[in-house]
Structure 1
Amino acid sequence: MKGDALDPAGLIREAYRIDGITAQDCRVIFLDWAIKSDAPDDLPAGIKKLLTQYADQPAQHPMTQTLRAGLEDAAKPTRRGGRAGRQPAS
């Protein structure tokens, strides 16, 4: 059975069905879902819809935690490449 419009391959749904799934497994599934997303420019909206769709799932489930982490802002990289990256910070 395939998924729905939000999760066409049913990846997220299946993650919730797998007993003993790990956080690492959920991150891989999430990345696959994000790559295959129809609207990559609006991933936060898709993640919010998924969280609403699976609101009945435990808050401590690794997929729920992964989805919540997907809404957080990514840290800006601080390392510079080349020679500047090898020099101690002033």
Structure 2
Amino acid sequence: MAKDGQGADDPKGLIAEAYRIDGITDAECRSIFLDWAMGAPDQPHAAIERLLRDRPDHPMTTVLREGLAMPARTGRRGGRAARVP
């Protein structure tokens, strides 16, 4: 039987536990999110949307919303032309 807050989107209960920790910092939430993302389900964006809680002031909510944002395109970062004079 799954613990409270666990489910297919959060099988280890990492996100649910983060919401229960009083005084958790942004950095700690990012670390928890990274641990969660390493074993994330096939559709992480949908899972993040389901995991978002109605606690807009919580650091984990901020981190989850950042996880939904599309990464900025960096373009080419070099290649042979950047290394050869």
Report the TM-score range of the alignment, normalised by the length of the smaller protein: 0.7 to 0.9
Aligned to 2:24: 21
Identify the structure with the greater helix proportion: 1
Alignment of 1:78-89 (within 5 A): 78=75, 80-81=77-78, 84=82
Identity of aligned residues (%): 52
TM-score, normalising length from structure 1?
A: 0.76
Q: Does 1:76 align with 2:64?
A: no
RMSD across aligned C-alpha pairs, in angstroms? 2.1
Unaligned 5+ residue runs, structure 1?
Answer: none
Partner amino acid, structure 1, of 2:39: K
TM-score, normalising length from structure 2?
A: 0.80
Alignment of 1:53-68 (within 5 A): 54-55=53-54, 58-68=55-65
Runs of 4+ in structure 1 deviating by more than 3 angstroms, as ranges, are none
Unaligned 5+ residue runs, structure 2?
Answer: none
CA shift, 1:34, in A, is 1.2
